[in-house]
Chains A and B, each alone.
Chain A
């Protein structure tokens, strides 16, 4: 696959857009990143996309770090740098510009309406992100079991998710999933 000037720009531009649409967390943008990178551009396949998110979830740090991992899978370190820069520049600039404005107006009706109106959409996008990762495994009953067990453990206990990741890795290596 040759990656031309137009492709670099397209990659960067997509993440610039994602930065402004990431309302309610970086993972909410995963469905649209998948739509663009996998479905539209065919830069990655489903398993590469899932592996990128799984790697980022297995490492410590903010969730948004799945973005440079996807950039790296698409186009090496240059891709990682462009993807991360694209994801950070617009929202960071805006946050610094308006944070002092927002802290004075959080009781404002418009601000409250925005938070309330966006909440169900954020949850819908998160469910879509989870479904996206589950989809390539849909034909494996053991994977369904693992997903269901993870949800249950996360809802009922305070166990650190890194142990669940280790368990998932072990199950995969044993060939159960």
Chain B
């Protein structure tokens, strides 16, 4: 576990310090925690190099489950095994959960108020914009995808058509379209080498 952390690099002293660090970064993350995680863990605390961060992120993306949660688990596990993994996870979730549930309780109590209902409608529009913007920021990464632009565009449109248009359960779209694209990527990666 310690082999991935060079001796010169600062490390968290205890699972408690991991818990505090993840709490601090989670509380700064509005609309996603990843950019804050990069700043805190790589630039400020220097527990991970930039490469280690990217590597951890890419493992977190291969695994199912929320990316940031997977990343917290993997980083915690590297430093302190199971205890570290759960300390990082608890730090990431505990305080934000408390805040969001307080908001949810307040919202159910006051949802009949026209001002509250209006505020939530406006925030819903912004939330839609935030998610669409995230998707737009990811689009250029498809240019480097071994599938090539045409296949990427087809897969994206097929996902939209089946999940948004036909309202298929996501599992069919992911297994059906994903099965084809992963196989195609496998074939193209093999041909490239």
Contact = CB atoms under 8 A, between A and B. Distances in A.
Contacts of A164: 126, 129-130
The size class of the interface chain A forms with chain B is: 35 or more
Binding site secondary structure of chain B: helix
Interface hub of B63, B156, B169, B170 (most chain A Cβ within 10 A): B170
B127 A106 contact: no
A56 B26 CA distance: 13
Interface residues of B, number: 100
A116 B177 contact: no
Nearest to B122: A172
B74 interface: yes
Contacts of A106: 55, 58-59, 62
A58 B64 contact: no
A31 B164 contact: yes
Contacts of B73: 92, 95-96, 99
Binding site secondary structure of chain A: helix
A92 B178 contact: no
B94 to A, nearest CB: 9
A123 B31 CA distance: 16
A12 B128 CA distance: 26
A137 B96 contact: no
B70 A95 contact: yes
Interface of B: 4, 26-33, 55-56, 58-70, 73-74, 77, 82, 85, 89, 92-93, 95-97, 99-101, 103-105, 107-108, 111, 115, 117-139, 141-142, 145-147, 151-153, 155-160, 163-164, 167, 169-171, 173-174, 177-178, 181-186, 189-190
